[in-house]
Amino acid sequence: MCRSIRERYGQLERICLSYDMAFVALFLSALYEPQEAVSEFRCPMHLLHCRQAVRNEYTDYAADMTIALAYHKCLDDWKDEHKRTRYEYSKLLKGSYEQIRKRYPRQCRMIEDSLSKLEEIENARVCMPDEAVNCSGKMLSELFVYQEDFWSNTLRTFGYELGRFIYLMDAVMDYNEDKKKNNFNPLFGMQMEPGEVETLLTMTIGNAAHQFETLPILKDAQLIRNILYGGVWQKYYVKMRKEKPYDI
Amino acid sequence: MISDPYSVLGVSQDAGMDEIKKAYRKKAKECHPDLHPDDPKAAEKMNEINEAYDMLTNPEKYRNQSRNTAEGRSARPGGTYGGSYGGANDRSYGGSYGDPRGGADPFGFDDLFHFGQRRGGPERPQAQPGDSNDLRQIIDFICMGQYGYARQILNRMVSADRNARWYYLSALTHYGQGNNIQAVEHIQKALQMEPDNPVYRKAMQDMTQQGDYYTREGADFQRYAEGMNRMCLSLCAIQIFFTFCRCC
């Protein structure tokens, strides 16, 4: 993905790399098993070893979605925190984003609509936790659908539940800090024990995992399982060991 | 609807999921329309294979479909899904096999929250002697899938009438509307008020069923994730997510 971004957009855009879209690339490649171009190179950020890069249309797609999300994140940060650097960066990304928007109008439209809805919900400050969580889910759901085909519904449902999980997990992880900074957090005002929030998280990721298990994914299936059943909880376990259970 | 999905895929009736997935991939590679450009029946054959796979991996969808049709509700299309299966040289086949879902909201997110289309989930509520007219109306609306109307009546009821039964029905309505967080919150409130009520307990179990299945299946992965110390976590995360940059 990193090389895809560099070759197709530029060095600057590489800073946008995120794990979420790398997972999309991994997932779609496992489902569709496309032809892949494998090459060896030395990464300028990790010079110690020669590396292999695997590239296909899904790594390119995920690279495009990464830029799209990064562009919107900059706009968001500029709106929220008025960081000049974010504004300048968004101007630099705008050209690339416009190219991507022409190529993937459905996904970009969903990102734009979801983010604007999320902004409304967060500004309204009324505690409707599901609205915010579901909105985030809806956004990611569309990104998992590279093209409309037989798998679209399952991919959408998977992306939806995963998006909800990620947003909810972030809310759990940021709970104390958001309270201090008076930021929006969908969990505010809920009368729940930490263990009960874990029930919610498990329900959501459980639904996502179920969708995954119905797909005919064989290549990299164990790797994906490692992530869905274990990897997604790692930060949570670290935090639970470090801090006392938070008050929700 | 095809009558024998097992024979379409060439597996025995007691085949496990892995075997079904392998058989699907093999059949799809053999019959992919890309490999048979002159065969007019190739698309039909591909649809049949897709449908057979879908029937074996999502059996409840087909059970619900016949139930929905019998009750006069619009069923989700089960037959021609259109689109490619994926595989070598995957291309979008949106138009060629059947009906690609087009339009502003092709997936119809409202459909996602219909009781019948979600895997598992709580059973339909039943009226009990002693239920007020309002509660009976709410029950009828929930059974018809008209959660918006159920919500209106629920909201209209004054605090004094919001007993355990109110919370139970509110939980079912929220669940139907896709508001998992509020659904769980309300069913837990119902249980706080009537801890020994088997109907509420069952509803709670049904809602979290997917999560319980996930916890059982993923126990090993979760133990692994929980047991790792922080140093290992970062290495693991990098290794898992950067599959496209492999060290030689």
Q: Are B29 and B22 in contact (CB under 8 A)?
A: no
Most A CBs within 10 Å, among B58, B214, B247, to test the A interface: B214
**pLDDT above 90 for A165:** yes
Torsions phi, psi for A47 (to 5 deg)? -75, -10
Choose the closest CB to A218 out of B21, B240, B247: B21
Residue in B closest to A239 by C-alpha? B230
Residue A230 DSSP one-character state: I
For residue B32, the chain A residues in CB contact (below 8 A) are: none
A121-138 CB burial, b ≥16 within 10 A, e <16 = bbeeeeeebbbbbbbbbb
Please tell me the least confidently modeled range out of A32-41, B94-103, B237-246: B94-103
The pLDDT of residue B164 is above 60: yes
Is the pLDDT score of A248 beyond 60? no
Task: State the pLDDT at residue A194.
Answer: 60
Q: Encode pLDDT of A200-225 as tens digits.
A: 899 999 999 999 999 999 989 999 99
Residue B19 in tokens: 């075997």
Q: Does A229 touch chain B (CB under 8 A)?
A: yes
DSSP single-letter state for residue A52:
E
B59, B55, B35, B32: which is closest to B45 by C-alpha? B32
**Over 60: is that where the pLDDT of A168 sits?**
yes
Identity of the residue numbered B22: K
| pLDDT 10s digits, B40-63 | 788 888 889 999 999 999 888 787
| Nearest partner of B81 among B36, B122, B47, B127, judged by Cα | B47
Cβ contacts of A81 within 8 Å, gap of 6 or more: none
| Secondary structure E strands in B9-48 | none
pLDDT of residue A221: 93
How far is residue B202's CA from residue B29's CA, in Å, rounded to a whole number?
A: 44
Angle at B107 between CA B103 and CA B112, to 5 degrees: 150
CB contact under 8 A, A234 and B242: no
Q: Is the ipTM of this complex over 0.90?
A: no
Which of A11-25, A105-119, B229-243 has the lowest average pLDDT? B229-243
Q: Is A84 on the interface with B (CB under 8 A)?
A: no
Contact B101 A223 (CB under 8 A): no
pLDDT in tens, A121-147: 888 867 678 888 898 899 999 999 999
B211 touches chain A (CB under 8 A): yes
State whether residue B232 sits within 8 Å of chain A by CB. Answer: no
Is B88 near chain A, with CB under 8 Å? yes
**What number is the average pLDDT over the span B165-189?**
93
Phi–psi pair at A244, nearest 5 degrees: -70, 155
Q: What is the pLDDT of residue B72?
A: 43
Give chain A positions within 8 Å (CB) of B93.
Answer: 149
Query: By 3-state DSSP, what share of chain B in percent is helix, strand and coil, each rounded to 5?
Result: 60, 0, 40
Whether A196 and chain B come into contact, CB under 8 Å, resolves to yes
Q: What is the residue type of B123?
A: E
**B246 closest CB neighbour out of A52, A168, A233:** A52
- CA B163 to CA B154: how far, in whole Å? 11
Least confident of A17-21, A79-83, B120-124, B211-215: A17-21
